[in-house]
Amino acid sequence: MRILVTNDDGIHAEGIYRLAKAMARLGEVTVVAPLVERSAVGHALTLTDPLRVEKVFHDGVIFGRAVNGTPADCVKLAVRMLMDKPPDLVVSGINHGANTGHNIIYSGTVSAATEGAILSIPSFAISRAWSMEPDFGPAAEIAVEVAEQILAHRLPDGVLLNVNVPALKREQIHGFRVTEQGQGRFVEAFEARIDPRGKQYYWQAGETLIPDRGETIDDTALEEGYVAVTPIHFDLTARPFMAELAEWGW
């Protein structure tokens, strides 16, 4: 089996290293990831600048290839140019920080997996809740379990899994919970500051607001110590509103 591993934290992040090592148990792993961190770039693509690729080594052995582009660029380039054959699975992560609620719109991690789904390749994104000293080991083990489930059962065309792992030891995680995307969002606050040259700049801060905490919500599952597994797709049509919109007298 051919597995493409990517992320948005950059090819030098510990999360992708642990993920690639774990995925190697299931098949042949190809790592193609951004050269530098590209968090929160969403599904951005590079259109006006050339994409450059360079090999990255770990302990004298080639680990993967770095691209001076976005996570979605990496998946497109890997599938179309860098791999002899398309992968059987695309895995994006392990992101340092959960991607739940509205965050999935901004997430480069989720967007890389979404690109895999657009290309009709079974795909999932995996993220670990943020902590000061992250241990990506449990999330790497869970990634293997998720991959095995996908390979055993398959996914509908256009559907990917968004997987979020609590910041706990493996034995402290209660299990898996199939969830829906919640409405949690980051409420921004900007602090105005003055740089040493007297020019004003703004530093973004804020806090996360989680308005819904039902058992099936992704943020709730994380808070209660479960791995949140959310099926998502890239069809953004607001179908319940279509009939009313058609009556506007276009």
The CATH T-level fold of domain 2-184+213-246 is Stationary-phase Survival Protein Sure Homolog; Chain: A, (3.40.1210)
Output helix, strand, coil percentages for the chain, rounded to the nearest 5: 30, 30, 40
Bond from prior residue into 94 cis (ω within 30 degrees of 0): yes
Q: Note whether 150 and 29 are within 8 A (CB).
A: no
- Check the CA dihedral 102-103-108-112 and report its sign: negative
Helix pair angle (14-23, 137-153), 10° resolution: 40
For residue 236, give both structure tokens: 């953004």
pLDDT of residue 167: 97
Is the distance from CB of 195 to CB of 143 less than 8 angstroms? no
Q: What string of pLDDT tens digits covers the 250 residues of the chain?
A: 999 999 999 999 999 999 999 999 999 999 999 999 999 999 999 999 999 999 999 989 999 999 999 999 999 999 999 999 999 999 999 999 999 999 999 999 999 999 999 999 999 999 999 999 999 999 999 999 999 999 999 999 999 999 999 999 999 999 999 999 998 887 888 999 999 999 999 998 888 778 888 889 999 999 999 999 999 999 999 999 999 999 999 9
Q: Would you say 220 and 169 are in contact if contact means Cβ atoms under 8 Å apart?
A: no
The widest CA-to-CA distance across the chain, in whole angstroms, is 66
